[in-house]
Amino acid sequence: MSRIEAKNISFRYKGNKNILQAINFELHEPCLVGLLGPNGIGKSTLLKCLNGICKVEEGKIYFDQRDITCYSLKELAQSIAYVPQNTYVRFSVSVMDFVLMGRIPYSSYCYCSKDYEAARRAIEETNLSAYQEKDVRKLSGGERQRVFVARALAGMPKVILMDEPTSSLDIKNSLNMLNLIKRLIREREIIVVMTIHDLSLAGLFCDRIIMLKNGRIWKDDSAVATLTEENIKAIYGVNTRVNIKQGKVYVQLENKICDTIEDI
Ligand code: ADP
Ligand code: MG
């Protein structure tokens, strides 16, 4: 089983103060990890540190116990896939050709049968077989999200980093997406780290939640242990009512939601 570790990492964008400080965690079994915290706290930045897009100044990221800066770009891309928040596509491309791009870390000049096989499998797993020849730009937001997940899967990664995979989806498509992610984790035995704002969905689906506050990890535990009324208030300044039924966390807004909103 693969392992990804953040050891005491700090990060800042050039000319700015530290955004992330002394971040430590270790993931070594198939699971869905939710990265939570208010806007601008550094969730997307942390995802980008994990696959080396953002170069950490202090500390190290290890994949399978090897510093990620010691991997070639190709090697790293074969192991850790990234699904961006924005799934806008600038050019005309079929679903199959787009998903095949996930095989670039393996191919030299042209795709071989193994590449097509991996792309076809990814397309099937994301229920996109009927759309293979369609232009990605002509798909709905939910379908396009699945195409991006399929492109990540085609590269046969051990870890997938997803930046708000449900942000542009309606509630049904959000549930479908999270069910799909959970199924992929089970079947492919992969680790998925995702940022998510919807606390109810995080409570229902995440195996583990990492909460960020002031650039640091504030809580890192199960959904039941992290998504408490006190913790949510401390992080977001919002009053909620949390119920736990059969080990699942249900988060509801309270009557007086927060100090700045009097009534709805
Ligand atoms: P989150 O995903 O939690 O909303 P981000 O990781 O996107 O937060 O951003 C964290 C902070 O870093 C924000 O203050 C944001 O303005 C800043 N930031 C993000 N990207 C850049 C960048 N490329 N250059 C400089 N600052 C950035
Ligand atoms: Mg973000």
Q: Which has the closest alpha carbon to 103: 91, 87, 89, 114?
A: 114
Q: In sequence order, what are the residues at sequence separation of 6 or more whose Cβ sits closer than 8 angstroms to the Cβ of residue 106?
A: 74, 78, 114, 115, 155
C-beta separation of 6 from 50 below 8 A: yes
Question: Which pLDDT does position 39 carry in this prediction?
Answer: 95
Q: Parallel, antiparallel, or unpaired: how do β-strands 4-11 and 240-245 relate?
A: unpaired
Instruction: Give the separation between CA 255 and CA 240, rounded to whole angstroms.
Output: 8
Residue 59 has pLDDT above 70, yes or no: yes
Q: Is 44 touching ligand 1 by the criterion CB < 6 Å?
A: yes
Question: Which pLDDT does position 264 carry in this prediction?
Answer: 56
The protein residue with its alpha carbon nearest to ligand 1, atom 5, reads 42
| Ligand 2 centroid – CA 164 distance (Å) | 7
Residue 69 has pLDDT above 90, yes or no: yes
pTM: 0.95
C-beta separation of 70 from 112 below 8 A: no
